[in-house]
Structure 1
Amino acid sequence: MSALLTVFDLLLTLTLLGLALVTVTSREPRRAVILFIAFGLLLALVWARLRAPDLALAEAAIGAGLSGALMLAAARRASGRKTSPAEESDTEDAP
């Protein structure tokens, strides 16, 4: 049983590292936020494996839930802006 848990912990660690790398290198804000939420949920599982249920619940609720929802809203607002600041100044000068 101990060997199986060791393999699970190793797989969880590698998945977390891979997910963190993909999240940081993502070019699309919405995709990065969704990957961040998945990272937070897996991190909550890590805290649970480390027998820290208070941290696991806090990570799931605040880290993945609340922060993820706020970042999704921010990414949605940011993607709504189609023009760059330079284009906005050009349109203001036009008659």
Structure 2
Amino acid sequence: MSPSDLPLVAALLLVAVAATVSVLTRDPVRQAVVLAVLGLLLALLFLLLHAPDVALSQLAVGAAVTPLLILLTARSLRRSAGRDTRGHDDGDSRREGHEGREGREGREGREGGA
């Protein structure tokens, strides 16, 4: 291994660590941040491999668009979850299943609150 290979080996190790962290991260917001860092590291790796066109594409998609979509989706899901848990009952039993809210609460009481 020559000294000129050291940046490539370092970039490969950083990409491997960032990819592992992104898989192990459970929170979508943190995962989006880790994916953005992973996208930047991959772009750096592609630059080191003399593929500037691929690096530019990786910057646009992997470091910007994908994390942004994940953040927007997480925000949308949290907003819709907030609306569903405010206790408003609009009479739509399809969301509650066939048994409705009273049936589910009764079942949870019999099962010990699980």
TM-score using structure 1 length? 0.78
Gaps of 5+ in 1: none
Q: Does 1:33 align with 2:32?
A: yes
Post-superposition shift, 1:69?
1.0
May I ask how many residue pairs the two structures share in their alignment? 88
Q: Take 1:18 and 1:79, find their aligned partners in 2: how far apart are those partners?
A: 29
RMSD over equivalenced CA pairs, Å: 2.2
Relative contact order: is structure 1 or structure 2 higher (C-alpha 8 Å, sep ≥ 6)? Answer: 1
User: Whole-Å Cα distance in 2 between the matches of residues 6 and 15 of structure 1?
Assistant: 14
Q: Matches of 2:52 and 2:31 in 1, distance apart?
A: 26
Give the 5 Å matches for 1:1-95.
2-3=2-3, 5-80=4-79, 81-82=81-82, 89=96, 93=101
Please, what TM-score do these two structures have when normalized by structure 2? 0.67
Who wins on radius of gyration, i.e. which is larger? 2
Q: Which structure 2 segments of 5+ residues have no match?
A: 86-94, 103-114
Give the structure with the larger helix fraction: 1
C-alpha deviation, 1:93, in angstroms: 3.5
